[in-house]
Structure formats: C-alpha cells, structure tokens
Amino acid sequence: MAGHSKWANIQHRKGRQDAARSKLFSKFAKEITVAAKMGDPDPEKNPRLRLAVKEAKSNSMPKDVIDRAIKKATGGDAENYDEIRYEGYGPNGIAIIVEAMTDNRNRTASNVRSYFTKHGGNLGETGSVSFMFDRVGEIVYKPEAGDADTVMMAAIEAGAEDVESDAEGHYIYCADTDLNDVSAALEAALGESDTAKLVWRPQTRTEVDLETAQKLMKLIDTLEDDDDVQNVTANFDVPEEVAAQL
C-alpha cells in the first residue's frame, strides 16, 4: 500500500504555521455559512455542516465564531457564494485542482489564471486534470489512535476502502457518499478523529526535484493566500532528501 504523501503533511503544518489566523477562520466561516444555508442549521442533521464544524474545531476556531457563522446563514443576511473548481497544470506538468467560493466569478477566475501564469503554470478547462484524482472522504487520526493493524480493522468494519499509516498518523479513505457514516462508525471505535472531509486524492503522485518543489510551493502559497480559494490539491510528492532542503 502506498504511503501517504509526506508533502501533504509538510504543507499541512506549514499552513497552520504561516497562515494568518483571521484568514484561516474566514475560510472556515464561509464553508460553515454555505453549508448551514444549503441544509439544516443543526450539524447533527446536516452532514456537510457537521464536517465543516469539525474541521474548524480541529484548527482551534472558537465556538462563538462557529455559532456566529451558522446564525448568519439562518438570519438571511449571508452573502451568496458560488462554488467553483478550477483545474490546471503547475511547473513540470503537475496537475492542480483549486476549489473556491466566490461572490464574483470574474474576479476569482482572473486572479487564479494570473497566479498560474505568473508561477510557470497554465489554467485549463474543467475536467482537464480531475480525471487524475478520485473524489473521496478522508478521515485522519493521530498515531495515538492505535497501531496500523488496529486502525485498519476498525476502518474495514466501518466501511472504509483504504488506509495509509505512517509516522504522521492514519489516513482512512472511503467513498465520498459514505463519509458521514464511516466517520461516525470510526468515532465510536477509535474516538474523535483529527479531521474528516472530502478531498481530491491523486491516483498517482510524481516526485519532484528541489527547483520544481520550490516553484510549486510558491504557486500553492499564492493560491491559498487568495480569500476566495478554499482548497488546493496537487499530484506531486517531495522525496525526503528534497524536503530536508526545503
């Protein structure tokens, strides 16, 4: 079984360290508001909202900020956001998917296109790279949840499709439509997970050299810094010796 991408872990830590807290919370609040507006404002009755709240809490977003985001949706004064997916290629042909929520499609499309161009990539049409990814649920547990065999057995019983374990933790994958049920079953068996969300999982990953990694890092950082961008996913991995130089 292929190991989980260490680059994903590097980016995850980097995001927590470098992103301004207010910007990070703003993106979580947007997702929570949209989820609450589209469905029931009770997280227990709205799977998407439940997962959004869980992700926000795992990043230490205060409960009162979460409650305000939900109340904003039910109050009728929430902005209307369009959910858009952009697809393109970064340096050395690395496939990148950008998920955004925006109240101005023209502004966001123009900005995303300029980021790709400025950093040696090019924006493609919808569907141009998504065929290289699978849309799945990802549930993450810290290493303390148990050894690889224990987590694997719990995941199988919960209805998961795949598990990857390494020193960073356990990454459990399931069908996108099963995420809420699998997450709940795992919570009963292993306790609360670190995160549970829908992701684009690369079918294969391309290892990159130092120069390419640095270029990709700049592009991804620029994309993630945009207020309209919610998630960025790419199908590359960084060998340990290159990661050490970064």
Domain membership of residue 1 (yes or no) is: no
Counted domains in the chain = 3
Asked if residue 60 is part of any domain, the answer here is yes
Average pLDDT over residues 213-227: 92
- Which pLDDT does position 112 carry in this prediction? 96
Residue 110 in any domain: the answer is yes
Measure the CA–CA gap between 139 and 183, rounded to whole angstroms.
7
% of the chain residues with pLDDT over 70: 91
Same domain, 186 and 101: no
> Given the DSSP bridges, would you call strands 206-207 and 236-237 parallel, antiparallel or unpaired?
parallel
Q: How far apart are CA 186 and CA 189, in angstroms?
A: 5
Q: What is the pLDDT of residue 1?
A: 37
Are 137 and 120 contained in the same domain? no
Same domain, 152 and 108: no
List beta partners, residue 116: none
Asked if 93 and 209 sit in the same domain, the reply is: yes
CATH number at residue 101: 3.30.70.980
Residues 15 and 62 in one domain: yes
Q: What is the reported pLDDT for 98? A: 96
The mean of the pLDDT values for the chain is: 87
pTM of the shown model: 0.83
Q: How confident is the model at residue 61 (pLDDT cuts 50, 70, 90)?
A: confident
| 211 and 120 belong to one structural domain | yes
pLDDT at 40: 80
Per-residue pLDDT at 6: 59
Both tokens of 95, joined, read 């496939």
Q: Rounded distance, CA 99 to CA 113, Å?
A: 13
Position 191 pLDDT exceeds 70: yes
Residue 61 maps to a domain? yes
pLDDT of residue 128: 94
Specify if 116 maps to a domain.
yes
The domain that holds 61 is classified in CATH as 1.10.10.200
CB 81 within 8 A of CB 35: no
Query: Is 180 in the same domain as 221?
Result: no
Rounded Cα distance between 72 and 121, Å, is 38
Q: What is the pLDDT, as a whole number, of residue 241? A: 85
Question: Are 123 and 229 in the same domain?
Answer: yes
Residues 29, 118, single domain; the answer is: no
- Per-residue pLDDT band for 32 (boundaries 50, 70, 90) equals confident
- Residue 7 has a pLDDT of 58
Q: Are 61 and 178 members of one domain?
A: no
Instruction: Answer whether residue 160 is part of any domain.
Output: yes
Domain, as residue range, for 215: 83-130+205-245
If you write DSSP's letter for every residue of 109-141 in order, what string do you get?
A: HHHHHHHHHHTT-EE--TTSSGGGEEEEEEEEE
125 and 216 in a single domain? The answer is yes
**Is 180 part of a structural domain of the chain?**
yes
Q: What is the pLDDT of residue 3?
A: 46
Quick: pLDDT tens for 110-158: 999 999 999 999 999 989 999 999 999 999 999 999 899 999 999 999 9
Are 125 and 211 members of one domain? yes
| 87 located within any domain | yes
